[in-house]
C-alpha cells in the first residue's frame, strides 16, 4: 500500500484528473453496451414471438384433425375455423392405352378376369363356364399325362389360382389351371 500511495503522490494534478476522466468514460461505455444488448434482445422479440401458441385442431372432414401451430392466437374456449388448403393437381402425362383384343369376339377390352388371373385374352362378355373351365393339377396330370416338372419347371409357366380343397379342408390347397391353357401347353412340349 505504501507503494500505491507513493505512486499516487508522485502524480500531478493534471494526470490525476486525466485518469479520473478515462475511468468515468470507460464506465459509461460499459454501461451503454449492457443496456444496448438488453434493448437488442427485446427489439428482436416482439409480443407474438414471446407468446407460446397452443396447437389448434383443424377438422379436415376426412376423419382426422390437423394440428396447426401457425394459426391465430386464440383462447382455449374458442374454435378457430380455417379454410381448407388449396390443392393443385397437375395433369398427368398422356399415355396411349394398349387395349387387348378378345380371342372370341375380336373386340378391344381393357380388363377381364381371365386376363388378370391366367393371362388369357378373353373379355368378360365372352367368358363361358364350359369353354373356359378350370382343371385341378391332379386331373390335368391324369388327363394329359403330365408330370409335376412340366407344371413347375417348363416354360412357359402356367398361371393358376389356389383354392381350399372342398373334399377335406385339412388337405392342401388345390391348384386350378385354365383347361384351354393346359391343352395348348401340351402341344408346346
* 73 confidence band (pLDDT: 50, 70, 90): very low
- Residue 75 domain-assigned? no
Tens digits of residue pLDDT in 106-133: 998 888 899 999 989 999 999 999 999 9
Pull the grid cell for residue 48: 407474438
Sign of the four-CA dihedral 31, 33, 39, 45: negative
Q: 77 in a domain, yes or no?
A: no
Q: Are residues 121 and 149 located together in one domain of the fold?
A: no
Is the predicted pLDDT of residue 91 greater than 50, yes or no? yes
Domain that holds residue 161: 133-188
Q: Residue 160 burial (CB < 10 Å; 0-12/13-18/19+)?
A: buried
Which range of 11-25, 57-71, 145-159 scores highest in mean pLDDT? It is 11-25
How far apart CA 13 and CA 30 sit, in angstroms, is 26
pLDDT digits (tens, 9 = 90+) for 146-182: 998 888 888 888 899 999 988 888 888 999 999 999 9
Residue at which a domain ends, from 114, 130, 146 = 130
Total H helices, total E strands in the chain: 7, 7
Q: Which of 179, 62, 174 is nearest to 132 (CA)?
A: 179
Q: Identify the pLDDT of residue 77.
A: 47
2 within a domain of the structure (yes/no): no
Q: What is the DSSP letter of 57?
A: E
Residue 183 lies in a domain: yes
Structural domains in the chain (count): 2
122 vs 183: CA distance, rounded Å: 16
Q: What is the pLDDT of residue 17?
A: 93
Model pLDDT, residue 7: 58
Mean pLDDT of the chain: 79
The answer as to whether 42 is a domain residue is no
Whether 173 is in a domain gets the answer yes
Amino acid at each position: 500500500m505504501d507503494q500505491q500511495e507513493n505512486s499516487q503522490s508522485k502524480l500531478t494534478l493534471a494526470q490525476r484528473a486525466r485518469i479520473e476522466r478515462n475511468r468515468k468514460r470507460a464506465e459509461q461505455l460499459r454501461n451503454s453496451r449492457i443496456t444496448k444488448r438488453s434493448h437488442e434482445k427485446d427489439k428482436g422479440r416482439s409480443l407474438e414471438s414471446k407468446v407460446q401458441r397452443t396447437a389448434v385442431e383443424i377438422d379436415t372432414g376426412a376423419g382426422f384433425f390437423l394440428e396447426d401451430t401457425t394459426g391465430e392466437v386464440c383462447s382455449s374456449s374458442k374454435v378457430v375455423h380455417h379454410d381448407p388448403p388449396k390443392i393443385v393437381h397437375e395433369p398427368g402425362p398422356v399415355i396411349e392405352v394398349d387395349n387387348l383384343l378378345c380371342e372370341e369376339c375380336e373386340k378391344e377390352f381393357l380388363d377381364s378376369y381371365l386376363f388378370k388371373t391366367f393371362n388369357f385374352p378373353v373379355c368378360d362378355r365372352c367368358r363361358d363356364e364350359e369353354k373356359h373351365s378350370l382343371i385341378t393339377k391332379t386331373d390335368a396330370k391324369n388327363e394329359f399325362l403330365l408330370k409335376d416338372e412340366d407344371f413347375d419347371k417348363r416354360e412357359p409357366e402356367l398361371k393358376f389360382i389356389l383354392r381350399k380343397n372342398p373334399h377335406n379342408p385339412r388337405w392342401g390347397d388345390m391348384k386350378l389351371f385354365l383347361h384351354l391353357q393346359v391343352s395348348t401347353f401340351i402341344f408346346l412340349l
